[in-house]
Structure 1
Amino acid sequence: MNAHFPHASRLIYGCMGLGGGWNDEPATKADVSQARSIIDTVLDLDINVFDHADIYTFGKAETVFGEALKQAPELKDKMIIQSKCAIRFEDDLGPKRYDFSAN
């Protein structure tokens, strides 16, 4: 295995709760601080896979995760980030779904 690419842990940390609440309030410095603390704790527990999706807390989870990594870019070498995209909430076009249309 590549020396710069970590082996995936058997457990994955789901980042859905990062970034504050499921609301239209912007992420705060406290949310970034919390994300950094969580990242450090999870890595200390030998969990190195972080699961994201573009809809988690309406995008704020990815925002605060990215800000935390700006504070400590060396952490990127210790983790694997997996993400999902194109998830859509229920709307007039249908139920909650993945949307890979060309819109």
Structure 2
Amino acid sequence: MSQLFVGWIEQDSQDDAIATATHAAKTRENHVVMSVSASFSTSTTKLLQIKDDTTVVWEGYVYSSENIPFPNGIEITQGKACSAVLAASGTGGVIGKVNLTGISR
């Protein structure tokens, strides 16, 4: 029997506030994060995290703009939400954007 994979994209943008892109938990489904991208409207360096519910499973710094693919995916615990969290820019008027893409099965 073949598995059905459903693709999704979540996004958020904030002005000097934490930007969080979240894919909601679904009973009996596993989410797999396939990529994350983050950017700021001007050059700044801030922390980007991927979370399995509330547990950080990956983190790195974003300088201005990053697009990070995960060729093998990051598997999220069954029935849990996943999110990408971009730290606030630290300067009013500087917009932070984050996009999280993945599949569910």
Question: With structure 1 as the length reference, what TM-score do the two structures score?
Answer: 0.29
Identify, as 1 or 2, the structure richer in helix.
1
Higher RCO (C-alpha 8 Å, min separation 6): 2
Flag the structure with larger Rg.
Answer: 1
